[in-house]
Copies of this chain bind each other. A is one copy, B any other.
Amino acid sequence: MTLSDEPLILSASCSNKPGIVAAVSKAIFDMGGDIADLQQFDDHGTGQFFSRVVFSGATAPIGAQKARDLLAPVLAPFDMTWSLRARNERRRVLIMVSRFDHCLADLLYRWHMGELNMEIAGIVSNYPRDIYPNLAFGDIPFHHLPISKETKAEQEAKLLDIVKSGNVDLVVLARYMQILSEEMTEHLAGRCINIHHSFLPGFKGAKPYHQAHERGVKLIGATAHYVTSDLDEGPIIEQDIERVSHRDTAEELVRKGRDIERRVLARAVRAHLEDRVLMNGMRTIVFPE
């Protein structure tokens, strides 16, 4: 255990070559740091290097800005994509929801429990506040942004304004059920997580649980992924399933699906907030927690 209670997290990826770990770990040692956790992955298919390093000052706190300044010249020769932040810098998260609020309720509860290291910048819904009578939002700003085919552009402009003025780092589509425009998905690339209420690939499109029931599957699942302009095809972060049987109607699959959706989304959001997810083309690296 280090003296510091302020660990720093470095996420880095680049084209692989010998000496990266040596250079990074030397730089951390030289700045008085102690590595608490280093995870590394080389994708032999693409030749890419990925790493996540958690470190702290061994005898005194280093501070994120100083660490960035000291690491920058070391990482530059590797043409690295990297970020460094203090673990206790909470990301600002905007949660978007539609009529079904089980994922929202779960995220709120986990946030209250301290399981999710974030500030909630706001809640956006295309339904009014009073559709969620059992949820306590406290001080969290609630934005009712109704949407129709005609008002979509206008609604997204408001949404963008909320994202920008709220310094939003991450948008979570907690069963938002509306398709974002291509401009919006590009603006939010790598920082917008969706829960697809079915097992991907498989039942894309509308009413996936009813499709699954028609097909007589014995397992149903859910998939959390980053949103891209190609709907239902973004990089997968987390998936899970539950066993079902002939006794389950489509409605019961929907009920069981809610449990899967909420835990899959919560795990994906948690992984993102802990800087454990790195993008590898259309796939992800998710370092274990």
Binding site for B on A (CB under 8 A): 1, 16-22, 25-26, 28-29, 32-45, 47, 58, 102, 105, 108-109, 112-113, 115, 133-136, 138, 199-203, 215-219, 221, 235-241, 245-247, 249, 252, 255, 258-259, 263, 280, 282-286, 288-289
A29 to B288, CA, bound (A): 26
Chain B residues closer than 8 Å to A199, beta-carbon distance:
199, 202, 219
Q: Is the CB of B218 within 8 A of A236?
A: yes
A45 to B279, CA, bound (A): 32
Given A245-B286, A246-B41, A249-B45: A216 and B201 within 8 A (CB)?
no
Q: Contact partner of A35 among B21, B201, B235, B239, CB < 8 A?
A: B21
Q: Contact partner of A201 among B25, B32, B36, B202, CB < 8 A?
A: B202
Q: How many copies of this chain does one complex carry?
A: 4
Residue of B nearest to A244 (CB): B239
Q: Is the CB of A58 within 8 A of B18?
A: yes
A263 to B258, CA, bound (A): 12
Residue of B nearest to A211 (CB): B201
Given A1-B44, A33-B18: A219 and B218 within 8 A (CB)?
no
Chain B residues closer than 8 Å to A286, beta-carbon distance:
218, 245-246
Given A236-B217, A258-B113, A286-B245: A38 and B58 within 8 A (CB)?
no
A263 to B20, CA, bound (A): 37
Q: Is the CB of A39 within 8 A of B39?
A: yes
Q: Is the CB of A134 within 8 A of B109?
A: yes
Q: Is the CB of B21 within 8 A of A246?
A: no
The listed residue with most B CB atoms (<10 A of its CB), out of A18, A134, A215, A219, is A18
Residue of B nearest to A16 (CB): B34
A102 to B113, CA, bound (A): 9
Other A-B pairs, 8, CB within 8 Å; known A201-B202, A245-B286: A1-B44, A17-B34, A39-B40, A115-B255, A219-B239, A221-B241, A241-B241, A246-B284
Q: Is the CB of A21 within 8 A of B40?
A: no
Residue of B nearest to A289 (CB): B247
Q: Is the CB of B21 within 8 A of A25?
A: yes
Chain B residues closer than 8 Å to A284, beta-carbon distance:
216, 246
Residue of B nearest to A49 (CB): B35
Chain B residues closer than 8 Å to A263, beta-carbon distance:
259
* A36, chain B: closest CB distance, angstroms: 5
The listed residue with most B CB atoms (<10 A of its CB), out of A58, A109, A133, is A109
A44 to B38, CA, bound (A): 14
